[in-house]
Every structure is written in structure tokens, then in C-alpha cells.
């Protein structure tokens, strides 16, 4: 199957072994199926709360992966991911030869295609609920990215990497986060407008930055704006303007 540019970039981030991969709000399941073929996870879980989607996906997976036992389809809310059950089962099934290899592998939770506010709510909930597990999040919100970042800064998540993707004249920010320390991988503090997102500072970054500045200027011109939202708009505009200055000196 041919992935879109955005899904291709998301798939490229999955380049090491995981105990499990959770393709949340999976829609057609194209990303999860690509990851199932890559064999980077012992199990790939397709998650969506809409029965018609999971029913169609179950049939599609049975047709395309008839002999595979490495995938599961869940018709549940993302907040109900059964990570604790999976971790217990893996611990019981781990061989004595390499007991640590499997147990130390993180779970990767992918949340793409939903708004930033819902993404933040889900990430906060899962990090608190499964604070004893090694988790990584690969997220790609469709809007409200600045507010999402502000909320993520209050968690203990660290940034592993981030990328800007342009697809069908829309921009998407992809963030790869972790809740655990990895000695061999450098991690970074989360920034309100991104840090690695602007490296290199090419044509896409310039266009996206101008779009963000124009957006927040329009927000500030709204005379009916609530005081709290006005302060957020002021702060975000200032940060984006500083990025522009820093990259055009």
C-alpha cells in the first residue's frame, strides 16, 4: 500500500524494536499495516472507537495478513488501552535466556489525525495511568499545536525528535516523546513553538512560520477575545517572532 507523505514520515520514526505499537484513531489502518510489515514490534494494535471502522479493518487485515498472529483490533477508547495486561502477559511469557530484552522494550503509542486538545488529554491520561511503564508517543495533531505543546511541557515527557511535514497544502508537526531515560539517545526539553522543528530552516519552515505569525496576529485583532486567550495569543506570537528573528540574522 502507498502511504501519504505524513504517514510515511510517521512510519520512518519507527526504526527500533518495541514491545507493542498502538495505532490509535487508526481510521483505515494504513500506518499500522505498514508497521506490521516492518516487524519492529512484537504486536501491532489497531485502535478506534467507531465500530464500522474496526469491522472493516478487521476484514482488511484478515485478507492482507491471513497467517499473522501479531496484530489485534480494538474497538475501544484510547484511554482504555490494556497496556498493563499486555505487560503482565509479556513478563510471564519471557524466556529465561533474555528476560530483560523484551521487558525493557518500550510501548509506542501513535496518536495522529485528531486535534491538539484531545491529543493532550489522551497523552496526559496515559502517562499518568501507566507511569511505571516505558512509553513513547508519536503524535501528529491537526490543529492547536501550540496549546498542545504548552500542556506537554508540564509533563515529564522528553522530546526525542520533531519534524515539520507539508501535505496537501497543510502543515503538520510530528513529535516523538518518551517518559523514560535512554542513555544512548539524547533528549530535549519541549519548547512552546518547537526547537528541532526549525532545523534546517528551509522553505517549508519559513512558510509555516509566516502562517503561524499571521494566524496569531489575526487572533489578537479579535476585540471579543477573552483575557486568558489574549495572553496565550500574545505569548505565542512573541515566540514565533523570536524564531523568525533568530533565523534571519
Q: What pLDDT score does 129 carry?
A: 95
With 0-12 CB in 10 A as exposed, 13-18 as middle and 19+ as buried, what is 108?
buried
Q: What pLDDT score does 62 carry?
A: 94
pLDDT tens, position by position, 38-82: 878 889 999 999 999 999 999 999 999 998 889 999 999 999 999
pLDDT tens, position by position, 156-177: 999 999 999 999 989 999 999 9
pLDDT range class, residue 27, cuts 50, 70, 90? confident
Q: What pLDDT score does 55 carry?
A: 96
Residue 223 has pLDDT above 90, yes or no: no
pLDDT range class, residue 91, cuts 50, 70, 90? low
Q: What pLDDT score does 97 carry?
A: 47
Residue 103 has pLDDT above 80, yes or no: no
Rounded to whole angstroms, how far apart are CA atoms 207 and 210? 5
Rounded to an integer, the average pLDDT of 208-232 is 93
Confidence (pTM): 0.91
Residue 249 has pLDDT above 70, yes or no: no
The proportion of the chain whose per-residue pLDDT surpasses 70, expressed as a percent, equals 92
CA distances (Å), 52 to each of 27, 58, 80, 94, 239, in order? 10, 10, 19, 35, 43
Q: What pLDDT score does 99 carry?
A: 44
pLDDT tens, position by position, 119-145: 999 999 999 999 999 999 999 999 999
107-112 and 135-140 beta bridge pairing: parallel
Residue 87 has pLDDT above 80, yes or no: no
Amino acid at each position: 500500500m502507498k502511504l501519504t507523505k505524513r504517514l510515511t514520515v510517521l512510519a520512518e520514526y519507527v526504526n527500533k524494536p518495541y514491545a507493542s505499537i498502538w495505532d490509535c484513531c487508526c481510521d483505515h489502518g494504513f500506518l499500522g499495516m505498514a508497521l506490521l510489515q516492518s516487524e519492529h514490534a512484537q504486536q501491532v494494535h489497531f485502535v478506534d472507537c467507531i465500530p464500522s471502522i474496526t469491522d472493516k479493518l478487521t476484514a482488511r487485515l484478515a485478507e492482507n495478513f491471513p497467517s499473522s498472529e501479531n496484530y489485534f483490533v480494538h474497538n475501544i477508547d484510547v484511554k482504555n488501552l490494556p497496556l498493563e495486561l499486555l505487560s503482565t502477559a509479556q513478563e510471564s511469557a519471557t524466556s529465561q535466556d533474555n528476560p530483560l530484552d523484551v521487558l525493557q522494550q518500550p510501548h509506542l503509542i501513535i496518536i495522529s489525525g485528531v486535534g491538539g486538545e484531545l491529543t493532550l488529554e489522551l497523552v496526559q491520561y496515559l502517562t499518568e495511568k501507566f507511569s511505571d511503564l516505558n512509553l513513547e508517543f508519536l503524535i501528529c495533531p491537526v490543529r492547536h499545536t501550540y496549546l498542545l505543546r504548552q500542556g506537554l511541557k508540564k509533563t515529564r515527557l522528553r522530546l526525542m525528535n520533531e519534524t515539520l511535514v507539508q501535505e496537501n497544502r497543510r502543515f503538520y508537526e510530528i513529535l516523538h516523546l518518551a517518559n523514560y531515560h535512554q542513555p544512548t539517545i539524547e533528549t530535549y526539553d519541549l519548547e512552546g513553538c518547537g526547537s528541532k522543528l526549525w532545523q534546517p530552516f528551509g522553505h517549508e519552515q519559513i512558510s509555516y512560520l509566516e502562517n503561524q505569525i499571521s494566524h496569531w496576529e489575526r487572533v489578537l485583532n479579535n476585540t471579543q477575545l477573552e483575557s486568558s486567550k489574549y495572553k496565550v495569543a500574545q505569548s505565542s506570537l512573541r515566540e514565533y517572532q523570536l524564531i523568525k528573528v533568530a533565523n534571519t540574522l
